[in-house]
Amino acid sequence: MKYGDLKGNKMETKAKNQFNWRSFVSVLTAFSFIGLTFTGIILFVVPPGRIANWTGWTLLALTKDQWIALHDWFGIIFVVTAVIHLYFNLKLFISYFKSRVTKTFSLRSEWVVALLVCVVVGAGTVVNFAPFSTLMTWNESIKYGWDNPSQQAPIPHAELLTLIELAEQVPDANIETMIANLEGQGIKVQSPEIIVNELAESVAMTPEQIYQIALGQSTTGSSRFGQMTLKQYCEQINLDVDEAVKILNDAGFTIKPEMTIREIADSKGAHPSEIRTLLNQLNQ
Check whether 10 has a pLDDT greater than 60.
no
pLDDT of residue 7: 55
Confidence of residue 215 (pLDDT cuts 50, 70, 90): confident
Tell me: the pLDDT tens digits for 125-164? 999 888 888 888 888 888 888 888 777 888 889 999 999 9
Q: Which of 251, 230, 215 is nearest to 58 (CA)?
A: 251
Confidence of residue 40 (pLDDT cuts 50, 70, 90): very high
Please state the domain extents for the chain.
3-88, 153-214, 225-283
Check whether 181 has a pLDDT greater than 70.
yes
Q: Please indicate whether residue 137 or residue 35 has the higher confidence score (pLDDT).
A: 35
Confidence of residue 223 (pLDDT cuts 50, 70, 90): very low
Check whether 84 has a pLDDT greater than 70.
yes
Check whether 173 has a pLDDT greater than 70.
yes
Confidence of residue 221 (pLDDT cuts 50, 70, 90): very low
Check whether 222 has a pLDDT greater than 50.
no
**Rounded mean pLDDT, 91-98:** 81
